[in-house]
């Protein structure tokens, strides 16, 4: 027998979808159930928790109440056949009362009038797929038929989208090799391991990380520098809040870094034809031949560095290597993320030096050099290290002589002087420290057409992203930051 819970002075509902009697007790409590038996001395009541016997002396009165089923029938009789909203509300009533079969019956009536009624479909457990509604069984049947048809057309399912197999595999970083799909990175690495010794006359030792392949002609620990480069990549991923698709794009084609031991090996690297696998601009090859270091951004990223023979210690070589790679990887990373080049020079240069100064601890200053420059940006006395840059920029008189942000917006990297580079570095550092999300939002959108095909100017994009009316606002904030900072003691 169930236990009766009575709280004096309160109304207690112990209801069931089939119980229709209300027993009001003299102490003010109320019990809802179904009267099974009555005698002159007691009343037997079935509640949702069990059956109880109540003494007649405790009962004030017994009221008959319409059951949920009776209420459902009453409401249904009062509705017009085409009253979609009324029928849907009745279905919700049935759901609340546990009348499952009646609920489904009413929802079917709703769909007979409005076949696309979302609430009715969801109430019946239907699933929307490609604009159509299905129950689970019919959806599985439909998808099996669809899969057979799509596969017969040579398509494969990739992230919920049917597409040509070659397109899907390319998106995963796979290439077709001798009839099998293999990771492009593995095939690329196998080609280097096979061809480099023949082209260069020396073996190659490779270490890999998610975004880099480090190739050396001499054995030397590369894990340390790879960790530094990956840390710089991760900062970009986090600060720019890159989605998984863009992150996959970054890792799909790793940056090849070749570390050579003397400048003559750079010439061999080019003359042997080994560099051709990176599809360089042929007109730039004479310039690369005369350089000890060079970088290719597109179509395949490549950084080549010949370590300075005068750097005999492992520490010196690592510092030199980090400086060159961190400075040059910036343009590669930004180009990959954006899908195109064309940023203002101060952004490219500033971000390059930001990475070098932060992740090489200010121990080098590698002035940028691009093929169209011919020479690196000129060294200027007093502007030859990051500590000197900070000292110079701490002087308000020096700062006010430098171009404003509006003037920098129109300059290419090749047009920036060493003082311009210093300001670019300081501006980018300031923006990443204070407004990282907005800075990278600007980087990702600057110079790229919107849905209408229009391309806003760099200045217009900057103002819109930062929510300001004038570039002078950022210029002023930067000046204030410089006034508060102290020159670094790093050399």
Whether the CB-CB separation of 487 and 394 falls below 8 Å is answered with yes
- Residue 151 forms part of a structural domain: no
| DSSP string across 107-170 | HHHHHHH-TT-HHHHHHTT-EEETTEEE-HHHHHHHHHHHHHHHHHTTEEEETTEEEEHHHHHH
CA 258 remoteness from chain centre: 30
Last residue of a domain, one of 134, 153, 170: 134
Last residue of a domain, one of 9, 35, 65: 65
Same domain, yes or no: 356 and 276: no
Instruction: Measure the CA–CA gap between 278 and 162, rounded to whole angstroms.
Output: 31
Same domain, yes or no: 241 and 367: no
Same domain, yes or no: 47 and 100: no
- Residue 58 forms part of a structural domain: yes
Same domain, yes or no: 48 and 86: no
Residue 99 carries which DSSP code? Answer: -
- Residue 160 forms part of a structural domain: no
- In the chain, the largest separation of any two C-alpha atoms, in whole Å, equals 117
Residue 353 to residues 115, 372, 458, Cα–Cα distance (Å):
61, 19, 21
Dihedral of alpha carbons 458, 459, 464, 466, sign: positive
Same domain, yes or no: 309 and 376: no
| Residues in Cβ contact with 400 at an 8 Å cutoff, skipping those fewer than 6 apart | none
What's 47's domain CATH number?
2.30.30.100
- Residue 204 forms part of a structural domain: yes
pLDDT score, position 9: 36
Same domain, yes or no: 317 and 451: no
- Residue 489 forms part of a structural domain: yes
Same domain, yes or no: 487 and 355: yes
pLDDT score, position 453: 67
Last residue of a domain, one of 329, 358, 378: 329
HSE-up (13 A, CA, CB side) for residue 59: 21
Same domain, yes or no: 50 and 107: no
257 three-state secondary structure:
strand
Question: Secondary structure of the chain in the HEC alphabet?
Answer: CCCCCCCCCCCCCCCCCCCCEEEEECCCCEEEEEEEEECCCEEEEEECCEEEEEEHHHEEEEEECCCHHHHHHHHHHCCCCCCHHHHHHHHHHHHHHCCHHHHHHHHHHHHHHCCCCHHHHHHCCCEEECCEEECHHHHHHHHHHHHHHHHHCCEEEECCEEEEHHHHHHHCCEEEECCEEEEHHHHHHHHHHHHHHHHHCCCCEEEEECCEEEEECCCCCCHHHHHHHHHHHHHHHHHCCCCHHHHHHHHHCCEEEEEECCHHHHHHHHHCCHHHHHCCCHHHHHHHHCCCEEEECCCCCEEEEECCCCCCCHHHHHHHHHHHHHHHHHHHHHHHHHCCCCCCHHHHHHHHHHHHHHHCCCCCCCCCCCCCCCCCCCCCCCCCCHHHHHHHHCCHHHHHHCCCHHHHCCCCHHHCCHHHHHHHHHHHHHHHHHCHHHHHHHHHHCCCCCCCCCCCCHHHHHHHHHCCCCHHHHHHHHHHHHHHCCCCCCC
Whether the CB-CB separation of 438 and 397 falls below 8 Å is answered with no
What's 122's domain CATH number?
1.25.40.10
CA 272 remoteness from chain centre: 41
Same domain, yes or no: 105 and 201: no
Residue 404 carries which DSSP code? Answer: P
Whether the CB-CB separation of 343 and 444 falls below 8 Å is answered with no
The gap between the terminal CA atoms of the chain, to the nearest Å, is 88
Same domain, yes or no: 320 and 364: no
Instruction: Measure the CA–CA gap between 88 and 107, rounded to whole angstroms.
Output: 7
Residue listed under structure tokens 């006395």: 381
pLDDT tens track, the chain, 491 positions? 333 433 333 333 333 444 568 888 999 888 888 888 999 899 998 888 889 899 999 989 988 877 788 889 989 999 998 899 999 999 999 999 889 999 999 999 999 999 999 999 999 999 998 889 999 999 999 989 999 999 999 888 887 788 888 888 887 778 888 888 888 888 889 999 999 999 999 888 999 999 999 999 877 667 889 999 999 999 999 988 888 888 888 888 889 999 998 888 999 999 999 999 999 888 888 888 888 888 888 888 999 998 876 666 778 888 889 999 999 998 899 888 887 778 888 999 999 999 999 999 999 998 876 554 455 667 889 999 999 999 999 998 999 899 999 999 888 888 888 999 999 999 999 999 999 999 999 998 887 766 666 777 899 999 999 999 999 999 999 988 887 765 554 44
- Residue 125 forms part of a structural domain: yes
242 three-state secondary structure:
coil
Instruction: Measure the CA–CA gap between 215 and 269, rounded to whole angstroms.
Output: 13
Residue 336 to residues 61, 226, 251, 299, 448, Cα–Cα distance (Å):
81, 19, 10, 10, 14
Residue 254 carries which DSSP code? Answer: P
- Residue 349 forms part of a structural domain: yes
| Residues in Cβ contact with 349 at an 8 Å cutoff, skipping those fewer than 6 apart | 368, 413, 416, 420, 421, 424, 425
pLDDT score, position 354: 96
| DSSP string across 315-370 | HHHHHHHHHHHHHHHHHHHHHHHHSS----HHHHHHHHHHHHHHHTTT--------
375 three-state secondary structure:
coil
Same domain, yes or no: 352 and 467: yes
Expressed as residue numbers, the domain containing 128 is 69-134
**Looking at the 3D structure of the chain, how many domains does it have?**
4
- Residue 189 forms part of a structural domain: no
**Pair of tokens at residue 152:** 């017969």
Same domain, yes or no: 244 and 105: no
Whether the CB-CB separation of 352 and 322 falls below 8 Å is answered with no
């Amino acid at each position: 027998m169930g236990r009766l819970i009575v709280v004096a002075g309160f109304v207690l509902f112990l209801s069931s979808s089939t119980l229709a009697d209300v027993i009001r007790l003299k102490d003010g409590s109320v019990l809802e159930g179904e009267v099974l038996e009555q005698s002159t001395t007691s009343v037997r009541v079935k509640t949702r928790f069990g059956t109880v016997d109540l003494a007649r002396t405790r009962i004030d009165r017994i009221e008959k109440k319409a059951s949920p089923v009776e209420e459902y029938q009453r409401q249904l009789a009062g509705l017009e056949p085409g009253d979609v909203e009324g029928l849907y509300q009745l279905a919700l009533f049935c759901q609340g009362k546990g009348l499952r079969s009646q609920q489904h019956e009413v929802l079917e009536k709703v769909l007979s009038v409005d076949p696309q009624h979302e609430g009715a479909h969801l109430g019946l457990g239907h699933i929307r797929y490609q604009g159509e509604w299905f129950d689970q069984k019919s959806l599985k049947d439909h998808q099996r038929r669809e899969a057979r048809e799509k596969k017969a057309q040579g398509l494969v399912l990739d992230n919920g989208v049917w597409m040509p197999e070659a397109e899907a595999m390319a998106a995963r970083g796979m290439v077709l090799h001798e009839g099998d799909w293999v990771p492009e990175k593995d095939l690329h690495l196998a080609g280097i391991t096979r061809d480099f010794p023949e082209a260069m006359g020396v073996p190659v030792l490779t270490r890999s990380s998610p975004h880099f392949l480090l190739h050396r002609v001499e054995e030397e620990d590369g894990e340390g520098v790879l960790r530094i480069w990956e840390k710089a990549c991760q900062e970009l991923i986090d600060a720019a809040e890159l989605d998984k698709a863009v992150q996959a794009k970054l890792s799909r084609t790793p940056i090849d870094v070749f570390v050579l031991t003397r400048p003559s090996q750079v010439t061999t690297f080019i003359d042997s034809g080994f560099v051709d696998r990176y599809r360089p601009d042929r007109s730039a090859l004479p310039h690369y031949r005369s350089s000890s270091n060079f970088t290719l951004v597109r179509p395949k990223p490549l950084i080549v560095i010949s370590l300075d023979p005068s750097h005999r210690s492992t520490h010196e070589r690592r510092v030199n290597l980090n400086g060159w790679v961190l400075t040059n990887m910036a343009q590669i990373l930004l180009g990959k993320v954006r899908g195109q080049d064309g940023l203002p020079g101060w952004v490219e240069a500033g971000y390059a030096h930001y990475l070098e100064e932060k992740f090489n601890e200010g121990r080098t200053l590698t002035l940028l050099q691009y093929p169209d420059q011919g020479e690196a940006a000129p060294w200027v006395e007093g502007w030859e290290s990051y500590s000197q840059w900070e000292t110079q920029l701490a002087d308000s008189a020096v700062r006010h002589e430098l171009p404003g942000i509006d003037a920098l917006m129109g300059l290419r990297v090749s047009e920036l002087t060493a003082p311009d580079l210093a300001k670019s570095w300081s501006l980018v550092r300031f923006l990443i420290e204070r407004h990282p999300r907005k800075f990278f939002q600007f980087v990702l959108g600057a110079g790229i057409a919107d849905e209408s095909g229009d391309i806003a100017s760099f200045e217009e994009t900057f103002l819109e992203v930062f929510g300001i009316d004038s570039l002078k606002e950022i210029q002023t904030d930067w000046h204030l930051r410089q006034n508060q900072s102290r020159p670094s003691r790093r050399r």
